[in-house]
Chain A
Amino acid sequence: MCYIEDYGLNAPSRKYSLMVLQLKDRCDRKEMDIIHLHKIIRYFEYLRNTTEIRFSNFKLGVVSYELEKNLETLQDSGLVEKDDKNYVLTEEGQEIAEKLLSGLDRKDLEKLIFAKQQLNDLTPDELMYFMYRLIPESVVNSTEFSRLEKKRVPLVQSLFLKGRINSTTAAKWLDMSEKDFLGSLCK
C-alpha cells in the first residue's frame, strides 16, 4: 500500500480524481474535462452527503481550488495527463485507480459510478444548469445562470429525456405540474 503514501492518496481530492477518471460514462468514455471533473466530484459528495473536499461558488458554479491543485500534483507525479482539454490516466494511474476502486465501499462506488454516468456526457450548459438547480447556493457568483435560465425549458426537457432527472424534478424546476410537463413533451 506504499503507493498511497508515495502519492499522497489519502487526500480525498486526489483519490477520487483518480478513481472517477478510471470509470466509464454512458458513451464508454473515461476522459473528463475540468468542468465535468469538478461538478462530478461535487455531485458525488452531494450523493454521499459529505464535504470532504472544499468547494466554492464561482463564476461557473461550484468549483474547487483544492481539486485543481491536486490534479496538478497528480500530473506532476505522472498519474494523470492532459491532452488538449481532457484529463486521462496514465498506465500507472490506471493501475493505482483500479486498486483504489477495489477498496472503495460498495455504496460509495455505486454513487461514484452514478455521478460519472449521469453527468459526464452532458453538454456544458446542461451540466451547469443541473448543478445550479441541484445546489441553489452555487448561483451566488454565477456569470452563467441568468443566461441558462432563459433556455431552461429545452435544458430541463433534454435532462429529462436523457434520463438525468425525473419528471417530478423537471416539473419543479419549470414551475409546472408533472402532467403538464409530460404533456409538453408530446407536442
Chain B
Amino acid sequence: MLLEKCQLKAQLLAFSNKFTITAPTRVMEEYCMGDSENPKPNADAFREVFSPTDVKLDVELLPYFYYESTSGEIWVVSYARQHTEFICVIDEMFARNVCNLLKVKVIGTIGIIKEMKDNDFLTRQDLRNIRSAIKNCRFYLSKELLHQLDQICGSSI
C-alpha cells in the first residue's frame, strides 16, 4: 500500500535506515502476483525497501489459520514470534486477534504512517497524497482507522 499506491519508496527507504523493516518471502510473492489495479508490481522496489527474508513457518499457528499457510500473515506472525524485537504490521483484524492472543506486538498501516510522520519522514504533501491514495483505492480500512488517518494527516495539513 505505502510503496505502490502512495509511492513512498524514498521515504520508506529513509525510514528503514532508522528502523529495520523486512517482509517474509511469501509476502513478496503475494505482492508480485499483482491485481487488476496494479498488474505489474515493482518487485525491485519491494526488494529494496523490505529486504525479503526466508521465514521458518511456526506450525503452532496453523490451527488458527485453518491449517493453511497460504496467507501472508501467518508468515509475518511466524517471523515476529521468532524475532521478538520485531513488530508485525498487519491490518486485518483476524490476524491481529491472533497476535493479541499470542502476545505478539502488532501495529497497522496507520501506525506506520504515524511513526513515519512523528519521525519526520513525511512531508505535508506526502500526508495529503497518502490520505487521497488510501481513500481512492480498493484498500479496506474500518471507519475508526479512517478517522485515525484523518487525525494524523489532518493535524499536518
Q: Which residues from chain A sit less than 8 Å from chain B, CB to CB?
A: 46-49, 107, 110-111, 113-114, 117-118, 134, 160-169, 177, 179, 182-183, 185-186
Whether A163 lies near B97 (C-beta < 8 A) is yes
Encode contact with A along B18-34: 1 for CB under 8 Å, 0 otherwise. 00000000000000000
Chain A residue numbers with a CB within 8 Å of B66 are 134, 169
Please give me the residue from chain B that is nearest to A181 by CB atom.
B140
Encode contact with A along B134-146: 1 for CB under 8 Å, 0 otherwise. 0000111010000
Chain B residue numbers with a CB within 8 Å of A48 are 63
Whether A164 lies near B94 (C-beta < 8 A) is yes
Please give me the residue from chain B that is nearest to A49 by CB atom.
B63
Whether B60 lies near A168 (C-beta < 8 A) is no
A-B contact count (CB 8 A): 55
Judged by DSSP, the binding face of A is: helix
Task: Give me 15 other A-B pairs in contact (C-beta within 8 A), A47-B63, A111-B63, A166-B94 excluded.
Answer: A46-B63, A110-B101, A114-B98, A117-B101, A118-B97, A162-B93, A164-B94, A166-B65, A166-B71, A167-B71, A168-B68, A179-B35, A182-B140, A186-B138, A186-B139
Provided the pairs A49-B63, A110-B102, A179-B36 are in contact, do residues A185 and B140 lie with their beta carbons within 8 angstroms?
yes
Please give me the residue from chain B that is nearest to A185 by CB atom.
B140
Please give me the residue from chain B that is nearest to A166 by CB atom.
B94
Chain B residue numbers with a CB within 8 Å of A165 are 94
Whether A163 lies near B36 (C-beta < 8 A) is no
| CB within 8 Å of A: which B30-47 residues | 35-37
The 9 closest A-B pairs by CB, nearest first: A163-B93, A183-B138, A168-B71, A166-B94, A179-B35, A47-B63, A185-B140, A182-B140, A163-B94
